[in-house]
Structure 1
Amino acid sequence: MPYQSGSRLPGERASRIGHLEVVKSDLVKSIIQSFDSPEPPLVESKTEWKVQSFSGNSLPIIFGIDGSMQVNQYEKPPQKAIAFVKTALLRLDQYSISQIDREYPNPFALRDMLSDSALYHATVFPLRHTPIPGMNTYDAIRQIIFESIKEKGGSLDTEVMETLKWLAYEKWAENDKSLQPFECPHCEEVVASLNYNEEKGTCSGCGGSLFLTDMLGFHQEMAPDSAPDTVATAYMNIHETLLLFTAVRYYWETNKKILSNCLFVKDGPLMLRAQYSKLVDPIRRFLFFAQKNNFPVHIIGQEKTGRFMDHLQLIKKDAQERSIFMPDNKYIKEIIKSRPNRGGPYGEKTNYGNKIFVKLDNYHSMVLNIPHYSEEPSYMDTLDADRIFATIPKILSNRYEGALLPIELAHGVASLSTYPSAKILKIFSESKEPPII
């Protein structure tokens, strides 16, 4: 690596001829030639696409869930950084969707539809060199996370906190279950817990104060006076999941029949990574419990970028229209992730949905996640998949390739690049006087 430029001297320049000896090798030449070729590589793999009817009894009520995260940072030392996070939940129905032009939607029609159907949440995190009087960054972010999820007042008014308790304590099972021990944010011992339905408490080991949100593990990747951007990203993913299950919980408690006629469309995979995966098992158990009691919950997550989406671009040309392909653990590890099929199954601890490649036609193909995790997935194992796939053709958007209208609309509400603009957020974060509204 070359030396970087400083305040007095310029940076070191990399040699422009140092690679000449390397490219003399015939093997290297063939690699470079293959790399420069515009032709896509041949994928020699067993992609067992299966034609699907995509017909049947569709789901009339649609929810879209999306989130956005924006980090604003001073470019000069001390490089202060704060992160804005916004999430949105949008409720639609088949009739309102049918009235929208899929290619050129009327902005006034969208405005009227969103005015009564969208809920959103926003918060901010001081990541680096942004001191909070009386507390360090570590404790400030812990408290911000608790208060943001609690969020008294506003359109959500504590509902997301109730959903976190509903999942963490598995209140849907009515068994008064306490939390499993988790790492204390003070003594760092795995002895912290809370009694059933509590939001706050104290550690049995050190007596330090605990929030229910500590069980998610945000503190495990923070330093006393700074936090990485991934804390804000993880919060966004957690809050998206809690928003989704807030709608699920509401109908579960008020009208289960309506719940089973809803489709929840989430931006991103149905997964929670690393320490945040503590909610995965309760979610899996609830979805199985609901299915067993004949009130299936229909959820899909759409992946728009990443390794799975890249792989879809290679294999979709071999698929017939209206077909699906469900990769198993071996295929995912060896073909998509390019690693040996060793260790535990892919997503065993983190996923509450299986990956499904879908090709509707030459213009609409996508990577979806559908609940029911299995190492060897089968279409018949997915939760009420026929109704989900009967609904997908009715919620397509023609503005982007493989786009789903609920996610597109929810993104319009949640996007920090447009609502409000990232530039305004940057101005607000850097202004020394409060903005005049």
Structure 2
Amino acid sequence: MPTPIKMPALSPTMEEGTLAKWLVKPGDKVEAGDIMAEIETDKATMEFEAVDEGTIASIAVEEGTEGVKVGTVIAMLAEEGEDLDEAAAAAPADGEDKAEEAREEKVEQEEKRTEAPAPSPAAAPAAKKSDEGGRIKVSPLARRIAEEKGLDLSTIRGSGPNGRIVKADVEDAKPGAAPAKEAAAPAPAPAKPAAQGGDLDAPYEAQKLNNVRKVIARRLTEAKQTIPHIYLTVDVRLDALLKLRSELNKSLEADGIKLSVNDLLIKAQARALQRVPLCNVSFQGDELHQYTREDISVAVAAPSGLITPIIRDAGRKGLAQISTEMKELAGKARDGKLQPHEFQGGTASLSNLGMFGTKQFDAVINPPQAMILAVGAGEQRPHVIDGALGIATVMSATGSFDHRAIDGADGAQFMQAFQQLVENPMGLVV
């Protein structure tokens, strides 16, 4: 009996995804564990493995298709000895329809970017023939539905871009229905050139949001609208930390390990949370969850958008282990290969823009966490050293705290603990 291969839920929040690439084709044999496709989820691009063995009978959803709902049949797998054509024919029609709808939506979105806005439905004329070969503009899915219902497409008004007939236009139409008499309507205003951008009236190029960017937009909007942020900033001397880093790197050179400043800051944040556990919390409605482990989510800029791989139990890990894990996770993040357990969770976040020369910034909390630490660049500044004015390497660090879960005094204690650990860094190696 043929087995339908369905769009998987590769993360707890995934409702739909993009079938980025097929790595198999009809006729290919697969075994359990073989990589069949790459799927772009709401977090990253992930590999989709075969669960059963058999032969790929058909591909129902083409690669590059966006908005494929979880559970949609994307391919059919034939068991040993089964006829491939019969297995392909066993694919549920609804799976094909969903795939066609996703492709149709993609075409419509592309047309909307390049064509003038269509008139409102009330003023839209019945579908007119296109300039090419006298054909009516209609999507493949809408044409198939119209044929099944015996509809005359020339009597149907298209609500898609440039009067194109889409699925919604034919679903409720009845055979033999004539177009309603059109009321006179003023001619639409001339469309702006495609390169002119809305209210800003400046040249632009439209770029469709990928799934990761959509999630970033939704979560950050949620964070700023629902979380009362409080910001606390301290200036931290880095000279002792930089000296310790240099000494540690000399001793670790034979092992091929090179600590970054960020590695030490991850450890300092985790140790500060150990000293001030009231900041290692999250607000959960009627409850406050206080965590007994310091899982640090570290912001990494990836081509698809910002993502935060996690150094779990960072407070109890050594600097060399943190450094090794961070390099591996950052590489996977940039390649879009992170697994869900590598970026889901975390009890606090760290965002470092110092490498770009940013002096100081306020970061947005990553819900449901209750704090994020933003660190800027270390720079030579006048600083009081042992009661005398001198020059020191100083970094500004700003903590953003969820004021529902963390009081200002507790946040200030955390920032003080972080400052002390960085300025007296031997506490990071014990």
| Pair in the same fold by TM > 0.5 | no
Higher-strand-fraction structure = 2
TM-score of the two chains, using structure 1 as the length reference: 0.23
TM-score of the two chains, using structure 2 as the length reference: 0.23
